[in-house]
Amino acid sequence: MAFPRILVAIGFLLAKAAGGEIIDRVAITVGARVITESEVRQAVRLRQFLNGEPLDFRAYILRDAGERLVDQLLIRLENENSRYGVPSEEAVAAAQARIIAELFRGDRVAYETALKEYGIDERLLLEHLRWQLTVVRFVGVRFGAGLQITPEEVQAYFMAEIAPKLGPGATATAEDFQSQIEETLREQRANELADDWVRETRARTIIDFHPEVFQ
């Protein structure tokens, strides 16, 4: 009969309504590790804070943040196993100072106000900066060490990227920019290798996005 079933359904829903709120839950599983929804939202806040974008938690933004957190978790696990080292506190402080200078024109009050608006604890921001520096270090050591840049590659880069900007009559040659070009190319190549590594590692890992978080 429909009536008793309705009573049961009411009972369930009333119980649910009298319950509390979800304060955190599993959003993504990466092998035996998890990323929680609060982490995903935190990542969105940080990104939008650093980009000067308004807070927006639409599903596709959450999803995008989740994907990047998966990549970072894989790198974090590899870093834990291989111990490529951590950045110094001075480097972290310097990165923070750069943010205050570039985004807030040196105005610390405006910086702190913005942190409050975005719901970000300053320790969280520093942790984020520390992690970004760790990733850069990881990519550099893991994929960049030993990369050889040939003179032909330096020349090609010079002709494609630098020479057009020098204007007619410029006398500079590739050799004048060699060390910068080599560093740039090494960085690019390392990033490509890192992307490949992330792609391969993802393919080997069971990754599961919980749909209720990303709707």
Partner 1 sequence: MARAPALTMGLAVLAVCGGGPAALAQPDKYEGKRIRTIQFSPVEQPIQGEEIFRLLPLRIGEALRLADVREGIYRLYATGQYTDIRVDARLVDTEGVAITILTKESWFIGRVSTDQGVRQPPNPGQLTNVAGLRLGEAHRPEAVKTAVDSIQTLLEANGFFESRVEPRFEYEPRTQQIHIRFVINPGKRAYFASPELPPGASLTPQQLARLARWRTIIGWRPVTLSRTQRGLDRVRRDFRRNDRLMAQVLLDNLRYDPASGRAVPELQIDAGPKVKVNVVGAHVSRSRLQALIPIYEEGTVDRDLLVEGARNLRDHFQSQGYFNAEVEFKQQRLRDDSAAVDYLVNLGRRNVVSTVEVKGNQYFDAETIRERMFVLPRSFQFRRGRYSETLLRRDEEAVATLYRENGFRDVEVDSSVGEAPGPQRGLAITLRVKEGPQWLIQSLELEGVETLDREELLSRCTSLPGQPFSEFQVAVDRDAILARYYAEGFSDASFAWSATPAGEPQRLHVRYQIKEGRRRFVRQVLMSGLQTTQPQLVNRRILLNPGDPLSQTRMAETQQLLYELGIFARVNVAIQNPEGELREKYVLYQVDEANRYSLTGGLGAEIARIGGNQASFENPAGAPGFSPRISLDFSRLNFRGIGHTVSFRSRLSNLQQRALVNYSAPRLRNVTGLDLSFTALADNAGDIRTFISRRREGAVQLSQRVSKADTFLYRFSYRRVGVDNLKIDPRLVPLLSQPVRIGILSGNLIRDKRDDPTDSTRGVFNTIDLGLASRAFGSQANFTRFLARNTTYHAYGRNKYVLARSLTFGWLQPFGETFLRTELDSAADIPIAERFFSGGANSHRGFPENQAGPRDLETGFPLGGRAVLMHNLELRFPLLGENIGGVVFHDAGNTYSRLGNISFRVRQRDIRDFDYMAHALGFGIRYRTPIGPVRLDLAYGLNSPRFRGCSATNSLTECGPLVDQRISRVQFHFSIGQSF
Residues that bind partner 1 in the complex, under the rule CB under 8 A: 6, 9-10, 13-14, 16-17, 19-26, 29, 32-34, 36-39, 41, 57, 119, 206, 210, 212-213, 215
Q: Which helix (H) or strand (E) holds 92?
A: helix 89-104
Tally of CA atoms within 13 A in the half-sphere of 68 that contains its CB: 15
Instruction: Compute the distance between CA of residue 184 and CA of residue 136 in angstroms, rounded to an integer.
Output: 14
Question: CB 81 → partner 1: shortest distance, Å?
Answer: 12
Closest approach, Cβ 114 to partner 1, in A, equals 17
Tell me the C-alpha distance between 27 and 36, whole Å. 5
Question: What amino acid occupies position 67?
Answer: E
Q: How far is CA 126 from the centre of its chain?
A: 14
- We find the least distance from the C-beta atom of residue 34 to partner 1, in angstroms, to be 5
Phi first, then psi: give them for residue 34, nearest 5 degrees. -130, 155
Smallest gap from Cβ 56 to partner 1, in A, equals: 13
Q: Which amino acid is at 16?
A: K
**CB count in 10 Å sphere of residue 59:** 11
Q: How far apart are CB 25 and partner 1 at their closest, in Å?
A: 4
Closest to partner 1 by CB, 56 vs 183, is 56
Which of 36, 210, 57 has its CA nearest to residue 119?
57
60, two tokens: 């596709």
Three-state SS for 62? helix
Contact status, residue 90 vs residue 98, Cβ threshold 8 Å:
no
Nearer to partner 1, 40 or 162 (CB): 40
Question: Residue 21 or 152: which CB sits closer to partner 1?
Answer: 21
Q: Please, which residue, 68 or 116, has the CB nearer to partner 1?
A: 116
Q: Which is nearer to partner 1, 26 or 93 (CB)?
A: 26
Work out how close the CB of 32 gets to partner 1 at its nearest, in angstroms, rounded to a whole number. Answer: 5
Q: Which is nearer to partner 1, 75 or 120 (CB)?
A: 120
